[in-house]
Amino acid sequence: MNKLRCILALLLINLALFCLVPPFPAMGQSGHQDEKKVVILISDYIGTGDLINSHTPNLDGLLSQSGSGLMNIRSKNRYPSSSYMSLATGARVGTIENAGLSYNSTEGVDFVFGLLDNSTASSLNAANLFSLFTAAKPPDEGVVNLFIEPARKYASSYNPPYQVGSMGWEARELGYRLAVLGNSDTHQLVNRNSVILAMDEKGIVPQGNVSQDLLEVNPSSPGGLQSNHDQIIDNMQRLLAVADILVMDLGDTSRVETNRENTSDYIVVEQRKNAVERNDLLLGRIINSINMEKTMLIILSPNPNKEMLAAGNFGLTPAIIYTPGSEPGLLTSATTRRPGLVSNADLKPTVFSFLEHNYPVRGISTIKSDNSLQKLDQQVNLFTQLRVSRNPLHYMFMFFAVLGIAVGALAFIAGRKEFFRHVNYTVYCALSMPLVFLFISFSQYFSLGWVMLLSFGSAMLMAALVHFLFKDPFDALLFLTLTTAILLAFDSFTGSRLMLVSPLGSDAIAGGRFYGIGNDYMGILLACTIISSLLLLDKLKHLSLKPSHQALMGLLPLIVVSVAIGHPSFGTNMGGFITAVVSMGFFYVIVRGHKISLFKILLILFLAIMAVFAVAQLDALLNPTPSHAGKAISSFHSGGGLAVLLAMIKTKLGILGSTIYHSIWSLILLLLIAALIMLKHKRPNLMLQLSVHDKVISQTVKILLIAAVTVFLVNDTGVIAAAIIVLYLLDSLWLTLSRSSYQGRW
């Protein structure tokens, strides 16, 4: 009886241990086998229109549970491999043309773009070649990039240098395993750029299959091959058993694009539709084969197709991200701060912040909103039409600027006061244009011709209204500059919703700036604030305030505007912030009536530098994706700041030189300077006369000149802001001469 009890007790203990203690993982399996997974699906060269025009029930079902948006996939050059490299590194970079040339370790290599002839290569597999090129031993079941060394050399020569294989390296450091599956090969082309996403710094992916065993022959398919869905699903299940992150190239849409040279465009569109629908069938099988409660599913298209490029969209493709437990909506990120828009820099933090609870950088999140493909397509059309309209509308603004210079110069040279009526109207048109452009986005840029006509007519109408309402040109100038400054500052504090889609705002396709205030409106805001503040002070001169009190009152609007321009949560324009702080210093000195000494200049510059460091520190501490200044401060703290700072300065100087050479604003700036020289030559005592009769304009000219020089020196595209500030300066002079002419003082 006692023996029986002992046996039963032992059985119960064993049963309890069996139930409570998990089995040991099999050898070679990931330590995260029962944890979260990330599957990245690559369906390249597709746009929102391709998805809308195709029958995709599985994608539609996934979309109802996912976040969707447009991803800016712009890289530094047009090689398709560069988009993959930008996604992997989390920065906009470029790489060599064939950076993704990769094979299974055991796969035979017939030809490596001239490195070997066929007779030599036929006896070598990828592992042999990889060891020959890198002196490294690849894993038996892995994938190797045979062009890793040229890609690394190219990356090291970049400014600043970047790390090839960044995603693979970081995954390894965090203890996660990466795998890659699929290709976009044809009979004539080896296309395996997806390996760039998964490889580490050595060009190795520990697990994967990118061979042509995953393909099946189909003479009616582009390139003669198509993805074998059964093989892909079998390999996917095998790889997900040992990997935490799986990059899958679905392949068929890429084959349409890379084999379109001899195909009619309308046939290419039909082939892409068929490829999208084949991918949708595969997506349905993928969804049924994975644990959707623990798997993040990301669908990306790293490159635009030819039709998208022809329409002007070289940077925005659809992105869909399913995250377990998240509500559907529009994708956004700290990089863009805009609903429905994310960046290629967001992929890596999105993946690792999902897998790693304490990952320091936030990735893509979802805002509850209409996330239909039609909504995304409307956004694409808006950004594309804005890009098409941008240059013509810029030229219209420049036309009014040049017209104002010419008419003002002719009136001044002729010396006939009746001409100044035309000068006033032309100036009002030029100063009305930034206001018109702030609201022109409500037209959705439906037609370039009509939008130009609407802009032109609105500026002319507004100028006529101002001309009718204000007999004194100073009152008109105050109204236009104060209204512009208030609206721009308010828009900056509320997310820059109007500026971002204005012709003078940012370009979501080019991806130069996703949020904050750009240099065009920054220059306008600074000029308008300085002019309106001084004119308001002049209106209050009957109060007999002390010069120090006047200066402090005038500084208040500039302080508010400097926050709107430079704060990390608002304008995030560091060059503009520096200019605003310097302008404040000289504003105080000039309004108080003090002379500008070397000591005061050095003191103002010192205070500006301290203010910049304070804001950069705030940016580094509070902003998950800090600006260049915030990154420099963080790099200083981590020990690499000087090198990063020098690289940033070098980059900024390069951009400044390129802008000066290529931008038409450089010509406008030269014309403005020529007009100022002409004024000085014709009237050498002009500034002295202004200081006696129109002291407020004398002060305005001095402060705006200092602001223009400062912004030109400290901003990478400062020539634009400088030209705009000088434009406001010269227009203020024309109105002053007009007013004085009617008063009989000139």
At 69-94, the pLDDT tens digits run 999 999 998 899 999 999 999 999 99
Evaluate whether residue 13 is within a structural domain. no
Evaluate whether residue 119 is within a structural domain. no
- Alpha carbon of 488 to those of 437, 565, 658: distances in Å? 11, 10, 28
pLDDT of residue 111: 61
Q: How does the average pLDDT of the chain come out, rounded?
A: 86
Residues 182 and 325 in one domain: yes
At 335, the amino acid letter reads T
pLDDT of 12 above 90: no
Per-residue pLDDT tens digits for 508-554: 999 878 999 999 999 999 999 999 999 999 888 777 777 788 888 88
| Mean pLDDT, residues 399-425 taken together | 79
User: Contact, 734 vs 688, CB < 8 A?
Assistant: no
Banded pLDDT at 381 (limits 50, 70, 90): very high
Q: Given phi > 0 = left and psi -120 to 50 = alpha, else beta, which region is 44? A: beta
User: Contact, 269 vs 45, CB < 8 A?
Assistant: no
pLDDT of 13 above 60: no
- Alpha carbon of 124 to those of 110, 212, 482, 529: distances in Å? 8, 17, 74, 70
Q: Which residues, listed in sequence order, are joined to residue 72 by a DSSP beta bridge? A: 316, 343
Per-residue pLDDT tens digits for 348-377: 999 999 998 888 888 999 999 999 999 999
Residues 671 and 556 in one domain: yes
Q: In terms of pLDDT, which residue wins out, 245 or 140?
A: 245
pLDDT of residue 557: 94
Evaluate whether residue 444 is within a structural domain. yes
Question: pTM here?
Answer: 0.86
Cis before 684? omega within 30:
no
Evaluate whether residue 146 is within a structural domain. no
Evaluate whether residue 62 is within a structural domain. yes
pLDDT over 90 for what percent of the chain? 61
pLDDT of 620 above 70: no
Residues 364 and 494 in one domain: no
User: Contact, 282 vs 39, CB < 8 A?
Assistant: no
Residue 333 to residue 611: CA distance in whole angstroms: 27
What tokens appear for 224 in the block? 């003669």
Radius of gyration of the chain (CA): 31
Residues 61 and 188 in one domain: yes
Per-residue pLDDT tens digits for 153-192: 999 998 778 999 999 999 999 999 999 999 999 988 899 9
Query: Closest by alpha carbon to 299, among 278, 284, 283?
Result: 283
Residues 364 and 449 in one domain: no
Per-residue pLDDT tens digits for 641-670: 555 555 555 555 565 566 666 678 888 888
Residue 400 to residue 682: CA distance in whole angstroms: 24
| DSSP 8-state code for residue 139 | P
Per-residue pLDDT tens digits for 561-571: 999 998 888 99
Domain that holds residue 474: 380-742
What tokens appear for 321 in the block? 């991200």
DSSP 43-101: --S--HHHHHTS--HHHHHHHTTSEEEEEE---SSS-HHHHHHHHHHTS-----TTTT-
pLDDT of residue 670: 87
Evaluate whether residue 634 is within a structural domain. yes
Residues 621 and 696 in one domain: yes
Banded pLDDT at 410 (limits 50, 70, 90): confident
Residues 518 and 609 in one domain: yes
Residue 377 to residue 51: CA distance in whole angstroms: 10
Report CA torsion sign: 585, 587, 590, 596.
Answer: positive
pLDDT of 671 above 70: yes
Lowest pLDDT segment from 255-259, 355-359, 586-590? 355-359
Which of 371, 400, 415 marks a domain boundary?
A: 371
pLDDT of residue 217: 94
- Alpha carbon of 301 to those of 69, 401, 482: distances in Å? 12, 42, 45
Residues 497 and 536 in one domain: yes
pLDDT of residue 728: 95
pLDDT of residue 3: 45
Q: How many CA atoms lie within 13 A of 420 on its CB side?
A: 23
What tokens appear for 272 in the block? 């892409």
Residue 164 to residue 88: CA distance in whole angstroms: 8
Residues 600 and 688 in one domain: yes
Residue with tokens 């939008």, as numbered in its chain? 451
Residue 704 to residue 529: CA distance in whole angstroms: 10
Per-residue pLDDT tens digits for 182-220: 999 998 889 999 999 999 999 999 999 999 999 999 988
Residues 594 and 701 in one domain: yes
pLDDT of 379 above 70: yes
What is the tally of structural domains in the chain? 2
Banded pLDDT at 121 (limits 50, 70, 90): very low
pLDDT over 70 for what percent of the chain? 86
| Mean pLDDT, residues 500-507 taken together | 92
Which of 338, 371, 404 marks a domain boundary?
A: 371
Burial, 623: exposed, middle or buried (Cβ in 10 Å; 0-12, 13-18, 19+)? middle
Banded pLDDT at 46 (limits 50, 70, 90): very high
Evaluate whether residue 341 is within a structural domain. yes
Residues 176 and 211 in one domain: yes
The torsion angles phi and psi of 603, rounded to 5 degrees, stand at -65, -45
DSSP 264-298: -HHHHHHHHHHHHHHHHHHHHHHHHHS-TTTEEEE
Residues 324 and 294 in one domain: yes
Per-residue pLDDT tens digits for 453-464: 999 999 999 999
Which of 371, 406, 428 marks a domain boundary?
A: 371
- Report the CATH number that the domain containing residue 224 is assigned in CATH: 3.40.720.10
Evaluate whether residue 311 is within a structural domain. yes
Burial, 685: exposed, middle or buried (Cβ in 10 Å; 0-12, 13-18, 19+)? exposed
pLDDT of residue 649: 56
Q: How far apart are the first and last CA of the chain?
A: 126
Ranges of beta strands (E only) in 207-362 are 207-209, 215-217, 225-227, 245-249, 295-300, 316-322, 329-332, 341-343
